[in-house]
Structure 1
Protein backbone atom coordinates (compact mmCIF):
# COMPACT_ATOMS: atom_id res chain seq x y z
CA UNK A 1 0.00 0.00 0.00
CA UNK A 2 2.87 2.37 0.80
CA UNK A 3 4.40 1.74 -2.62
CA UNK A 4 1.08 2.33 -4.38
CA UNK A 5 0.17 5.61 -2.68
CA UNK A 6 3.76 6.87 -2.75
CA UNK A 7 4.08 7.57 0.98
CA UNK A 8 4.33 5.66 4.24
CA UNK A 9 0.86 5.22 5.71
CA UNK A 10 1.22 1.65 7.01
CA UNK A 11 4.05 0.41 9.23
CA UNK A 12 6.01 -2.71 8.32
CA UNK A 13 8.05 -5.26 10.28
CA UNK A 14 9.02 -8.95 10.21
CA UNK A 15 6.81 -9.52 13.27
CA UNK A 16 3.53 -11.35 12.65
CA UNK A 17 0.31 -9.39 13.24
CA UNK A 18 1.98 -6.00 12.77
CA UNK A 19 -1.22 -4.40 11.43
CA UNK A 20 -3.78 -3.85 14.18
CA UNK A 21 -6.12 -1.18 12.79
CA UNK A 22 -7.97 -1.01 9.53
CA UNK A 23 -5.95 1.44 7.43
CA UNK A 24 -7.05 3.18 4.27
CA UNK A 25 -4.62 4.20 1.56
CA UNK A 26 -6.02 6.31 -1.28
CA UNK A 27 -4.67 6.41 -4.83
CA UNK A 28 -6.30 8.63 -7.45
CA UNK A 29 -5.34 8.11 -11.09
CA UNK A 30 -6.75 9.75 -14.24
CA UNK A 31 -9.16 6.84 -14.66
CA UNK A 32 -10.00 5.65 -11.13
CA UNK A 33 -9.79 6.19 -7.39
CA UNK A 34 -8.59 3.17 -5.42
CA UNK A 35 -9.29 2.98 -1.69
CA UNK A 36 -7.05 0.27 -0.27
CA UNK A 37 -8.10 -1.15 3.08
CA UNK A 38 -5.21 -2.84 4.91
CA UNK A 39 -6.62 -5.15 7.58
CA UNK A 40 -5.12 -7.13 10.46
CA UNK A 41 -4.10 -10.66 9.53
CA UNK A 42 -6.53 -13.49 10.22
CA UNK A 43 -5.08 -15.81 12.87
CA UNK A 44 -6.09 -17.88 15.89
CA UNK A 45 -6.69 -15.31 18.65
CA UNK A 46 -5.23 -15.87 22.12
CA UNK A 47 -6.66 -12.79 23.85
CA UNK A 48 -9.38 -10.14 23.54
CA UNK A 49 -7.21 -7.97 21.28
CA UNK A 50 -6.73 -10.86 18.86
CA UNK A 51 -10.48 -11.51 18.76
CA UNK A 52 -11.17 -7.87 17.90
CA UNK A 53 -8.53 -7.88 15.13
CA UNK A 54 -9.84 -11.07 13.52
CA UNK A 55 -13.47 -9.89 13.66
CA UNK A 56 -12.45 -6.62 11.97
CA UNK A 57 -10.55 -8.45 9.24
CA UNK A 58 -13.48 -10.78 8.57
CA UNK A 59 -15.88 -7.83 8.51
CA UNK A 60 -13.73 -6.01 5.96
CA UNK A 61 -13.81 -8.98 3.56
CA UNK A 62 -17.56 -8.52 3.12
CA UNK A 63 -17.47 -4.72 3.12
CA UNK A 64 -15.19 -4.13 0.10
CA UNK A 65 -15.68 -4.47 -3.66
CA UNK A 66 -12.61 -6.66 -4.28
CA UNK A 67 -10.28 -8.59 -1.96
CA UNK A 68 -6.60 -8.45 -2.80
CA UNK A 69 -5.21 -11.64 -1.27
CA UNK A 70 -1.47 -10.93 -0.85
CA UNK A 71 0.85 -13.90 -0.30
CA UNK A 72 4.61 -14.41 -0.07
CA UNK A 73 5.40 -15.23 -3.69
CA UNK A 74 9.02 -16.10 -2.85
CA UNK A 75 7.91 -19.46 -1.39
CA UNK A 76 5.26 -22.03 -2.37
CA UNK A 77 1.74 -21.87 -0.94
CA UNK A 78 1.50 -23.08 2.64
CA UNK A 79 -1.21 -24.22 5.04
CA UNK A 80 -1.94 -20.68 6.20
CA UNK A 81 -2.44 -19.52 2.61
CA UNK A 82 -4.85 -22.39 1.94
CA UNK A 83 -6.78 -21.61 5.13
CA UNK A 84 -7.35 -18.01 3.97
CA UNK A 85 -8.19 -19.23 0.45
CA UNK A 86 -10.90 -21.52 1.85
CA UNK A 87 -12.25 -18.64 3.94
CA UNK A 88 -12.39 -16.27 0.96
CA UNK A 89 -13.95 -18.98 -1.19
CA UNK A 90 -16.97 -18.98 1.13
CA UNK A 91 -17.69 -15.27 0.58
CA UNK A 92 -19.35 -13.50 -2.34
CA UNK A 93 -16.61 -10.87 -2.63
CA UNK A 94 -14.44 -11.35 -5.75
CA UNK A 95 -10.74 -11.80 -5.11
CA UNK A 96 -7.39 -11.36 -6.83
CA UNK A 97 -4.39 -13.42 -5.74
CA UNK A 98 -1.27 -11.24 -5.52
CA UNK A 99 2.13 -12.95 -5.39
CA UNK A 100 4.39 -10.45 -3.64
CA UNK A 101 8.20 -10.55 -3.22
CA UNK A 102 8.97 -11.83 -6.72
CA UNK A 103 12.22 -9.86 -6.43
CA UNK A 104 13.37 -12.47 -3.89
CA UNK A 105 12.96 -15.44 -6.21
CA UNK A 106 16.05 -17.30 -7.39
CA UNK A 107 16.29 -19.22 -10.68
CA UNK A 108 18.97 -21.36 -8.99
CA UNK A 109 16.68 -22.49 -6.16
CA UNK A 110 15.94 -26.22 -5.68
CA UNK A 111 13.14 -27.59 -7.86
CA UNK A 112 10.59 -27.41 -5.02
CA UNK A 113 11.41 -23.70 -4.50
CA UNK A 114 11.86 -22.72 -8.16
CA UNK A 115 9.76 -19.87 -9.61
CA UNK A 116 7.86 -22.42 -11.73
CA UNK A 117 7.05 -24.59 -8.70
CA UNK A 118 5.97 -21.56 -6.67
CA UNK A 119 3.67 -20.33 -9.45
CA UNK A 120 2.15 -23.80 -9.86
CA UNK A 121 1.38 -24.10 -6.13
CA UNK A 122 -0.57 -20.84 -6.24
CA UNK A 123 -2.29 -21.70 -9.54
CA UNK A 124 -3.59 -24.88 -7.91
CA UNK A 125 -4.86 -22.82 -4.97
CA UNK A 126 -6.53 -20.17 -7.16
CA UNK A 127 -8.04 -22.49 -9.78
CA UNK A 128 -11.12 -23.69 -7.82
CA UNK A 129 -12.10 -20.04 -7.26
CA UNK A 130 -11.19 -18.72 -10.74
CA UNK A 131 -9.05 -16.00 -9.15
CA UNK A 132 -6.78 -14.00 -11.46
CA UNK A 133 -3.14 -13.96 -10.35
CA UNK A 134 -0.92 -10.86 -10.27
CA UNK A 135 2.83 -11.10 -9.62
CA UNK A 136 4.53 -8.10 -8.07
CA UNK A 137 7.20 -6.66 -5.79
CA UNK A 138 6.11 -4.14 -3.18
CA UNK A 139 9.80 -3.33 -2.68
CA UNK A 140 10.68 -2.44 -6.29
CA UNK A 141 7.24 -1.59 -7.66
CA UNK A 142 7.46 -4.24 -10.39
CA UNK A 143 4.03 -5.46 -11.51
CA UNK A 144 2.02 -2.77 -9.72
CA UNK A 145 0.78 -1.14 -12.94
CA UNK A 146 -0.62 -4.47 -14.07
CA UNK A 147 -2.17 -5.01 -10.64
CA UNK A 148 -3.95 -1.64 -10.77
CA UNK A 149 -5.37 -2.48 -14.19
CA UNK A 150 -6.60 -5.84 -12.92
CA UNK A 151 -8.23 -4.14 -9.93
CA UNK A 152 -9.78 -1.34 -12.01
CA UNK A 153 -11.39 -3.88 -14.35
CA UNK A 154 -13.26 -5.34 -11.38
CA UNK A 155 -14.51 -2.12 -9.79
CA UNK A 156 -17.98 -0.71 -10.40
CA UNK A 157 -18.32 2.88 -11.72
CA UNK A 158 -18.86 5.40 -8.94
CA UNK A 159 -18.00 8.83 -7.57
CA UNK A 160 -14.73 10.04 -6.08
CA UNK A 161 -14.99 9.50 -2.33
CA UNK A 162 -11.92 11.56 -1.40
CA UNK A 163 -10.09 14.64 -2.77
CA UNK A 164 -7.56 13.58 -5.45
CA UNK A 165 -4.52 14.70 -3.42
CA UNK A 166 -5.45 12.74 -0.26
CA UNK A 167 -3.48 9.52 0.36
CA UNK A 168 -5.04 8.36 3.65
CA UNK A 169 -7.95 9.26 5.91
CA UNK A 170 -5.96 8.42 9.04
CA UNK A 171 -5.25 11.37 11.35
CA UNK A 172 -1.62 12.38 11.84
CA UNK A 173 -1.74 11.47 15.53
CA UNK A 174 -2.64 7.88 14.68
CA UNK A 175 0.21 7.57 12.17
CA UNK A 176 2.63 9.07 14.70
CA UNK A 177 1.67 6.38 17.22
CA UNK A 178 2.15 3.68 14.61
CA UNK A 179 5.60 5.02 13.69
CA UNK A 180 6.65 4.66 17.33
CA UNK A 181 5.24 1.14 17.50
CA UNK A 182 7.07 0.25 14.29
CA UNK A 183 10.42 1.06 15.87
CA UNK A 184 9.54 -1.05 18.92
CA UNK A 185 8.77 -3.95 16.58
CA UNK A 186 12.13 -3.53 14.85
CA UNK A 187 14.30 -2.93 17.91
CA UNK A 188 12.87 -5.28 20.56
CA UNK A 189 12.39 -9.03 20.56
CA UNK A 190 10.66 -11.93 22.29
CA UNK A 191 7.29 -11.17 23.89
CA UNK A 192 7.57 -7.38 23.87
CA UNK A 193 6.22 -6.36 20.41
CA UNK A 194 2.85 -8.11 20.83
CA UNK A 195 2.36 -6.65 24.32
CA UNK A 196 2.90 -3.02 23.30
CA UNK A 197 0.42 -0.27 22.46
CA UNK A 198 1.17 3.41 21.87
CA UNK A 199 -1.02 6.42 22.63
CA UNK A 200 -0.27 10.00 21.60
CA UNK A 201 -1.01 12.04 24.70
CA UNK A 202 -0.37 15.54 23.37
CA UNK A 203 0.76 17.33 20.21
CA UNK A 204 1.88 20.96 20.43
CA UNK A 205 2.35 22.68 17.08
CA UNK A 206 4.57 25.76 16.78
CA UNK A 207 5.97 27.48 13.67
CA UNK A 208 9.49 26.11 14.22
CA UNK A 209 8.78 22.69 15.78
CA UNK A 210 6.06 20.18 16.63
CA UNK A 211 6.28 18.67 20.12
CA UNK A 212 4.86 15.17 20.52
CA UNK A 213 4.32 13.44 23.87
CA UNK A 214 3.55 9.73 23.66
CA UNK A 215 2.96 6.87 26.07
CA UNK A 216 4.10 3.29 25.46
CA UNK A 217 1.86 0.75 27.21
CA UNK A 218 3.22 -2.66 28.22
CA UNK A 219 1.81 -5.50 30.32
CA UNK A 220 4.72 -6.33 32.64
CA UNK A 221 7.53 -4.56 34.50
CA UNK A 222 10.09 -6.72 32.74
CA UNK A 223 8.80 -5.43 29.38
CA UNK A 224 9.11 -1.86 30.62
CA UNK A 225 12.74 -2.59 31.47
CA UNK A 226 13.37 -3.94 27.96
CA UNK A 227 11.73 -0.91 26.33
CA UNK A 228 13.78 1.53 28.41
CA UNK A 229 17.01 -0.48 28.14
CA UNK A 230 20.26 -0.08 30.02
CA UNK A 231 20.73 3.57 30.87
CA UNK A 232 17.67 4.43 28.77
CA UNK A 233 19.49 3.51 25.55
CA UNK A 234 16.67 1.45 23.99
CA UNK A 235 14.04 4.14 24.62
CA UNK A 236 16.43 6.72 23.16
CA UNK A 237 16.96 4.58 20.03
CA UNK A 238 13.20 4.06 19.60
CA UNK A 239 12.53 7.78 19.99
CA UNK A 240 15.29 8.85 17.64
CA UNK A 241 14.21 6.53 14.82
CA UNK A 242 10.50 7.35 15.26
CA UNK A 243 11.23 11.10 15.30
CA UNK A 244 13.01 10.84 11.94
CA UNK A 245 9.95 9.17 10.41
CA UNK A 246 7.61 11.76 11.96
CA UNK A 247 9.64 14.59 10.47
CA UNK A 248 9.16 13.03 7.03
CA UNK A 249 5.43 12.69 7.74
CA UNK A 250 4.85 16.35 8.63
CA UNK A 251 7.78 17.78 6.63
CA UNK A 252 9.00 19.69 9.66
CA UNK A 253 11.04 19.48 12.84
CA UNK A 254 9.76 17.23 15.67
CA UNK A 255 10.56 16.99 19.37
CA UNK A 256 9.43 13.59 20.70
CA UNK A 257 9.16 12.60 24.36
CA UNK A 258 8.29 9.03 25.31
CA UNK A 259 6.93 7.61 28.57
CA UNK A 260 6.46 3.92 29.44
CA UNK A 261 3.50 2.70 31.51
CA UNK A 262 2.72 -0.80 32.82
CA UNK A 263 -0.93 -1.81 32.32
CA UNK A 264 -1.33 -5.47 33.33
CA UNK A 265 -3.35 -7.61 30.87
CA UNK A 266 -4.47 -4.63 28.77
CA UNK A 267 -4.99 -6.97 25.80
CA UNK A 268 -7.66 -8.83 27.78
CA UNK A 269 -9.66 -5.73 28.78
CA UNK A 270 -12.38 -4.37 26.50
CA UNK A 271 -12.21 -1.02 28.31
CA UNK A 272 -8.43 -0.71 27.88
CA UNK A 273 -8.67 -1.81 24.24
CA UNK A 274 -11.30 0.84 23.53
CA UNK A 275 -9.19 3.50 25.26
CA UNK A 276 -6.25 2.55 23.03
CA UNK A 277 -8.32 2.64 19.84
CA UNK A 278 -8.96 -1.08 19.33
CA UNK A 279 -12.68 -1.46 18.70
CA UNK A 280 -14.78 -3.78 16.58
CA UNK A 281 -15.49 -2.17 13.21
CA UNK A 282 -19.17 -1.53 12.53
CA UNK A 283 -18.99 0.29 9.20
Structure 2
Protein backbone atom coordinates (compact mmCIF):
# COMPACT_ATOMS: atom_id res chain seq x y z
CA UNK A 1 0.00 0.00 0.00
CA UNK A 2 1.40 3.36 -1.03
CA UNK A 3 2.14 5.73 1.86
CA UNK A 4 -0.03 8.87 1.86
CA UNK A 5 1.60 12.12 0.78
CA UNK A 6 1.82 14.73 3.56
CA UNK A 7 1.85 18.49 3.21
CA UNK A 8 1.33 21.57 5.34
CA UNK A 9 2.68 24.79 6.78
CA UNK A 10 5.13 25.37 9.63
CA UNK A 11 6.09 28.62 11.36
CA UNK A 12 9.51 29.17 12.91
CA UNK A 13 9.32 31.59 15.82
CA UNK A 14 11.67 32.69 18.57
CA UNK A 15 13.53 35.58 20.10
CA UNK A 16 15.85 37.56 17.82
CA UNK A 17 19.17 35.94 16.97
CA UNK A 18 18.42 32.34 17.99
CA UNK A 19 19.23 30.97 14.51
CA UNK A 20 15.88 30.84 12.71
CA UNK A 21 17.28 31.80 9.32
CA UNK A 22 20.25 29.46 9.77
CA UNK A 23 17.85 26.56 10.44
CA UNK A 24 15.75 27.45 7.41
CA UNK A 25 18.78 27.56 5.13
CA UNK A 26 20.03 24.23 6.53
CA UNK A 27 16.64 22.58 5.86
CA UNK A 28 16.41 23.88 2.31
CA UNK A 29 20.09 23.35 1.52
CA UNK A 30 20.81 26.84 0.18
CA UNK A 31 20.70 30.45 1.29
CA UNK A 32 17.27 32.03 0.94
CA UNK A 33 17.12 33.79 4.32
CA UNK A 34 19.88 36.20 5.29
CA UNK A 35 22.01 35.50 8.34
CA UNK A 36 23.69 37.98 10.66
CA UNK A 37 24.86 38.19 14.26
CA UNK A 38 22.69 41.30 14.65
CA UNK A 39 19.12 40.77 15.97
CA UNK A 40 16.00 41.38 13.85
CA UNK A 41 17.73 40.39 10.62
CA UNK A 42 14.52 38.92 9.17
CA UNK A 43 11.82 41.49 8.40
CA UNK A 44 9.48 39.68 6.03
CA UNK A 45 7.89 36.27 6.36
CA UNK A 46 10.22 34.12 4.26
CA UNK A 47 8.38 31.23 2.65
CA UNK A 48 10.66 28.28 2.04
CA UNK A 49 9.62 25.00 0.48
CA UNK A 50 11.00 21.62 1.54
CA UNK A 51 10.03 18.71 -0.70
CA UNK A 52 10.76 14.99 -0.31
CA UNK A 53 9.19 11.77 -1.59
CA UNK A 54 7.07 11.63 1.59
CA UNK A 55 5.69 15.16 1.54
CA UNK A 56 6.12 18.92 1.32
CA UNK A 57 6.51 21.48 4.10
CA UNK A 58 6.14 25.22 3.51
CA UNK A 59 8.01 27.20 6.16
CA UNK A 60 7.39 30.71 7.38
CA UNK A 61 10.49 32.27 8.92
CA UNK A 62 9.14 35.13 11.00
CA UNK A 63 10.89 38.19 12.46
CA UNK A 64 12.20 37.69 15.99
CA UNK A 65 9.65 38.66 18.62
CA UNK A 66 10.86 41.86 20.28
CA UNK A 67 9.65 45.00 22.02
CA UNK A 68 8.89 47.34 19.10
CA UNK A 69 10.55 50.76 18.92
CA UNK A 70 8.96 51.95 15.69
CA UNK A 71 5.93 51.38 13.45
CA UNK A 72 8.06 48.91 11.48
CA UNK A 73 8.68 47.02 14.74
CA UNK A 74 4.92 46.89 15.43
CA UNK A 75 4.39 45.58 11.90
CA UNK A 76 7.03 42.86 12.38
CA UNK A 77 5.35 41.63 15.58
CA UNK A 78 1.96 41.53 13.81
CA UNK A 79 3.47 39.27 11.15
CA UNK A 80 4.51 36.78 13.85
CA UNK A 81 0.98 36.66 15.29
CA UNK A 82 -0.50 36.21 11.80
CA UNK A 83 1.90 33.33 11.12
CA UNK A 84 0.75 31.45 14.22
CA UNK A 85 -2.83 31.44 12.96
CA UNK A 86 -2.17 30.07 9.48
CA UNK A 87 0.06 27.03 10.05
CA UNK A 88 -0.25 23.33 10.95
CA UNK A 89 2.70 23.25 13.35
CA UNK A 90 4.89 25.82 15.15
CA UNK A 91 8.62 25.46 15.75
CA UNK A 92 9.63 27.50 18.82
CA UNK A 93 13.38 27.92 18.45
CA UNK A 94 15.54 28.66 21.49
CA UNK A 95 19.28 29.09 21.95
CA UNK A 96 20.82 26.37 24.15
CA UNK A 97 23.71 28.68 25.06
CA UNK A 98 21.34 31.34 26.48
CA UNK A 99 19.32 31.11 29.69
CA UNK A 100 15.53 31.10 29.55
CA UNK A 101 14.66 34.79 29.65
CA UNK A 102 11.71 37.21 29.64
CA UNK A 103 11.59 37.10 25.82
CA UNK A 104 11.09 33.33 25.82
CA UNK A 105 8.45 33.55 28.54
CA UNK A 106 6.66 36.27 26.54
CA UNK A 107 6.47 33.95 23.52
CA UNK A 108 5.29 31.00 25.63
CA UNK A 109 2.45 33.15 27.00
CA UNK A 110 1.38 33.92 23.40
CA UNK A 111 1.48 30.21 22.55
CA UNK A 112 -0.95 29.37 25.37
CA UNK A 113 -3.74 31.07 23.43
CA UNK A 114 -3.48 28.82 20.36
CA UNK A 115 -4.27 25.16 19.65
CA UNK A 116 -1.60 24.49 17.02
CA UNK A 117 0.99 21.81 17.99
CA UNK A 118 4.24 23.43 19.15
CA UNK A 119 7.70 21.86 18.85
CA UNK A 120 10.46 23.12 21.10
CA UNK A 121 13.58 23.17 18.91
CA UNK A 122 16.68 23.68 21.02
CA UNK A 123 19.33 25.16 18.73
CA UNK A 124 23.12 25.54 19.13
CA UNK A 125 23.55 22.30 21.09
CA UNK A 126 27.14 22.29 19.81
CA UNK A 127 27.80 25.12 22.29
CA UNK A 128 26.85 23.19 25.44
CA UNK A 129 27.76 19.84 27.03
CA UNK A 130 25.31 16.90 26.94
CA UNK A 131 24.99 17.14 30.75
CA UNK A 132 23.58 20.68 30.43
CA UNK A 133 20.87 19.68 27.94
CA UNK A 134 18.52 17.68 30.22
CA UNK A 135 18.08 20.45 32.85
CA UNK A 136 17.47 22.89 29.98
CA UNK A 137 14.73 20.65 28.54
CA UNK A 138 13.21 20.18 32.00
CA UNK A 139 12.96 23.93 32.59
CA UNK A 140 11.02 24.54 29.35
CA UNK A 141 8.84 21.43 29.78
CA UNK A 142 7.44 22.84 33.02
CA UNK A 143 6.22 25.98 31.22
CA UNK A 144 4.39 24.48 28.22
CA UNK A 145 3.15 21.04 26.98
CA UNK A 146 5.29 20.84 23.82
CA UNK A 147 4.23 18.25 21.22
CA UNK A 148 7.91 17.39 20.61
CA UNK A 149 11.29 18.54 21.90
CA UNK A 150 14.11 18.28 19.36
CA UNK A 151 17.69 19.47 20.08
CA UNK A 152 19.59 20.53 16.93
CA UNK A 153 22.58 22.41 15.64
CA UNK A 154 21.22 24.44 12.72
CA UNK A 155 24.71 25.57 11.75
CA UNK A 156 26.18 22.06 11.50
CA UNK A 157 22.98 20.16 10.62
CA UNK A 158 22.98 17.90 13.69
CA UNK A 159 19.57 16.23 14.19
CA UNK A 160 17.89 18.37 11.52
CA UNK A 161 16.89 15.24 9.54
CA UNK A 162 15.16 13.85 12.64
CA UNK A 163 13.25 17.11 12.99
CA UNK A 164 12.08 16.89 9.38
CA UNK A 165 10.96 13.26 9.77
CA UNK A 166 8.96 14.18 12.86
CA UNK A 167 7.33 17.15 11.11
CA UNK A 168 6.18 15.01 8.20
CA UNK A 169 4.53 12.62 10.66
CA UNK A 170 2.71 15.58 12.22
CA UNK A 171 1.28 16.98 8.98
CA UNK A 172 -2.02 15.94 7.41
CA UNK A 173 -2.43 14.19 4.08
CA UNK A 174 -2.36 16.82 1.38
CA UNK A 175 -1.25 17.91 -2.09
CA UNK A 176 2.13 19.01 -3.36
CA UNK A 177 1.65 22.80 -3.44
CA UNK A 178 4.87 23.69 -5.27
CA UNK A 179 7.07 21.99 -7.90
CA UNK A 180 9.73 19.74 -6.37
CA UNK A 181 12.59 22.01 -7.50
CA UNK A 182 11.09 25.23 -6.06
CA UNK A 183 12.58 26.31 -2.73
CA UNK A 184 10.79 29.63 -2.13
CA UNK A 185 7.78 31.56 -3.38
CA UNK A 186 9.66 34.85 -3.21
CA UNK A 187 10.79 36.33 -6.54
CA UNK A 188 14.50 36.46 -7.27
CA UNK A 189 14.46 40.27 -6.91
CA UNK A 190 13.45 39.92 -3.24
CA UNK A 191 16.26 37.47 -2.48
CA UNK A 192 18.80 39.65 -4.32
CA UNK A 193 17.75 42.65 -2.20
CA UNK A 194 18.09 40.55 0.96
CA UNK A 195 21.59 39.40 -0.02
CA UNK A 196 22.68 43.03 -0.44
CA UNK A 197 21.16 43.93 2.93
CA UNK A 198 22.99 41.00 4.54
CA UNK A 199 26.35 42.42 3.43
CA UNK A 200 25.48 45.80 4.94
CA UNK A 201 24.61 44.07 8.23
CA UNK A 202 27.92 42.22 8.23
CA UNK A 203 30.11 45.20 7.40
CA UNK A 204 28.66 48.23 9.16
CA UNK A 205 28.58 49.49 12.73
CA UNK A 206 25.64 49.24 15.14
CA UNK A 207 23.89 52.45 14.07
CA UNK A 208 23.37 51.27 10.50
CA UNK A 209 21.66 47.84 10.41
CA UNK A 210 17.97 48.47 11.09
CA UNK A 211 17.87 51.86 9.42
CA UNK A 212 18.42 50.47 5.92
CA UNK A 213 16.18 49.08 3.20
CA UNK A 214 17.26 47.78 -0.19
CA UNK A 215 15.15 48.24 -3.32
CA UNK A 216 15.97 46.60 -6.67
CA UNK A 217 15.25 49.31 -9.22
CA UNK A 218 16.07 47.20 -12.27
CA UNK A 219 17.18 43.63 -12.92
CA UNK A 220 17.45 42.23 -16.43
CA UNK A 221 19.70 40.21 -18.70
CA UNK A 222 21.94 42.31 -20.91
CA UNK A 223 20.72 41.98 -24.49
CA UNK A 224 24.13 41.79 -26.14
CA UNK A 225 25.54 39.30 -23.62
CA UNK A 226 24.53 35.65 -23.08
CA UNK A 227 25.69 35.34 -19.47
CA UNK A 228 25.33 38.72 -17.76
CA UNK A 229 22.56 40.26 -15.64
CA UNK A 230 22.49 43.99 -14.89
CA UNK A 231 21.19 44.87 -11.42
CA UNK A 232 20.59 48.42 -10.23
CA UNK A 233 19.79 48.70 -6.51
CA UNK A 234 19.23 51.55 -4.06
CA UNK A 235 20.17 51.32 -0.38
CA UNK A 236 17.94 53.64 1.65
CA UNK A 237 19.04 54.90 5.05
CA UNK A 238 17.67 57.45 7.51
CA UNK A 239 20.51 59.95 8.06
CA UNK A 240 23.23 61.66 6.06
CA UNK A 241 25.87 60.45 8.57
CA UNK A 242 24.78 56.86 7.89
CA UNK A 243 25.18 57.44 4.18
CA UNK A 244 28.76 58.53 4.83
CA UNK A 245 29.48 55.31 6.72
CA UNK A 246 27.98 53.22 3.91
CA UNK A 247 30.06 54.97 1.28
CA UNK A 248 33.26 54.71 3.34
CA UNK A 249 36.60 56.34 2.72
CA UNK A 250 36.97 56.91 -1.04
CA UNK A 251 34.00 54.58 -1.57
CA UNK A 252 35.76 51.63 0.10
CA UNK A 253 32.73 50.38 2.10
CA UNK A 254 30.40 50.54 -0.87
CA UNK A 255 32.90 48.63 -3.02
CA UNK A 256 33.20 45.87 -0.40
CA UNK A 257 29.40 45.60 0.02
CA UNK A 258 29.03 45.37 -3.76
CA UNK A 259 31.83 42.80 -4.14
CA UNK A 260 30.46 40.43 -1.48
CA UNK A 261 26.84 40.81 -2.60
CA UNK A 262 27.74 40.21 -6.25
CA UNK A 263 29.47 36.91 -5.39
CA UNK A 264 26.37 35.58 -3.58
CA UNK A 265 23.99 36.85 -6.26
CA UNK A 266 26.05 35.15 -8.99
CA UNK A 267 25.78 31.86 -7.08
CA UNK A 268 22.02 32.35 -6.73
CA UNK A 269 21.41 33.22 -10.39
CA UNK A 270 24.10 31.01 -11.93
CA UNK A 271 25.32 33.85 -14.12
CA UNK A 272 27.70 36.82 -14.11
CA UNK A 273 26.29 39.98 -12.54
CA UNK A 274 26.94 43.69 -13.01
CA UNK A 275 25.80 45.26 -9.72
CA UNK A 276 25.30 49.02 -9.44
CA UNK A 277 24.54 50.35 -5.94
CA UNK A 278 23.21 53.78 -4.99
CA UNK A 279 22.58 55.23 -1.52
CA UNK A 280 19.69 57.58 -0.75
CA UNK A 281 18.57 59.17 2.52
CA UNK A 282 14.89 58.90 3.53
CA UNK A 283 14.57 60.46 6.96
CA UNK A 284 12.74 58.35 9.60
CA UNK A 285 11.37 55.92 6.99
CA UNK A 286 10.70 53.19 9.58
CA UNK A 287 7.94 55.30 11.14
CA UNK A 288 6.27 56.16 7.82
CA UNK A 289 3.98 53.27 6.89
CA UNK A 290 3.63 54.22 3.23
CA UNK A 291 7.40 54.39 2.86
CA UNK A 292 8.20 51.01 4.41
CA UNK A 293 5.42 49.43 2.36
CA UNK A 294 6.99 50.98 -0.74
CA UNK A 295 10.22 49.28 0.34
CA UNK A 296 8.57 45.87 0.21
CA UNK A 297 7.14 45.32 3.70
CA UNK A 298 3.57 44.20 3.02
CA UNK A 299 0.83 42.59 5.07
CA UNK A 300 -0.15 39.30 3.42
CA UNK A 301 -3.71 38.89 2.17
Q: State TM-score, norm by structure 2.
A: 0.88
Q: Do structure 1's residue 29 and structure 2's residue 52 form an aligned pair?
A: yes
SS of residue paired to 1:153: helix
The 1:130/1:21 distance shift into structure 2, 3 A limit, reads: closer
The match for 1:96 is 119
Q: Do structure 1's residue 41 and structure 2's residue 64 form an aligned pair?
A: yes
Runs (4+) of structure 1 exceeding 4 A deviation are: none
Say if 1:76 and 1:119, in contact at 8 Å, map to a contact too: no
The match for 2:81 is 58
State the shift of 1:116 in Å: 3.5
- The CA distance in 2 between the partners of 1:117 and 1:184, in whole Å, is 38
Say if 2:117 and 2:146, in contact at 8 Å, map to a contact too: no
The match for 1:162 is 178
User: Which one of the candidate residues 224, 234, 243 is aligned to 1:215?
Assistant: 234
- The CA distance in 1 between the partners of 2:50 and 2:63, in whole Å, is 20
Aligned-residue CA RMSD in angstroms?
1.4
What does 1:200-279 correspond to in 2, within 5 Å?
200-206=216-222, 207-279=226-298
User: Which one of the candidate residues 195, 200, 208 is aligned to 1:192?
Assistant: 208
Q: State TM-score, norm by structure 1.
A: 0.93
- The CA distance in 1 between the partners of 2:99 and 2:140, in whole Å, is 7
Say if 1:75 and 1:118, in contact at 8 Å, map to a contact too: no
Report the more deviating stretch, 91-100 or 193-202.
Answer: 91-100
- The CA distance in 2 between the partners of 1:32 and 1:152, in whole Å, is 7
Say if 1:76 and 1:117, in contact at 8 Å, map to a contact too: no
- The CA distance in 2 between the partners of 1:22 and 1:66, in whole Å, is 16
Say if 2:120 and 2:146, in contact at 8 Å, map to a contact too: no
The match for 1:78 is 101
Gaps of 5+ in 2: 1-23
User: Which one of the candidate residues 142, 152, 155 is aligned to 1:124?
Assistant: 142
Say if 2:238 and 2:285, in contact at 8 Å, map to a contact too: yes
- The CA distance in 2 between the partners of 1:264 and 1:143, in whole Å, is 45
The match for 1:183 is 199
Gaps of 5+ in 1: none
Number of residue-to-residue matches in the alignment? 275
State the shift of 1:172 in Å: 0.5
Q: Do structure 1's residue 145 and structure 2's residue 164 form an aligned pair?
A: no
- The CA distance in 1 between the partners of 2:242 and 2:287, in whole Å, is 17
State the shift of 1:73 in Å: 1.8
Alpha-carbon deviations, 1:15-40, whole Å to 9, x = none?
A: 11100011111111110101111111
SS of residue paired to 1:115: helix
Alpha-carbon deviations, 1:107-164, whole Å to 9, x = none?
A: 6xxx9xx334333323333xx3243101111111111111012211211111110011
Alpha-carbon deviations, 1:215-256, whole Å to 9, x = none?
A: 000000011011111111111111111011001101111111
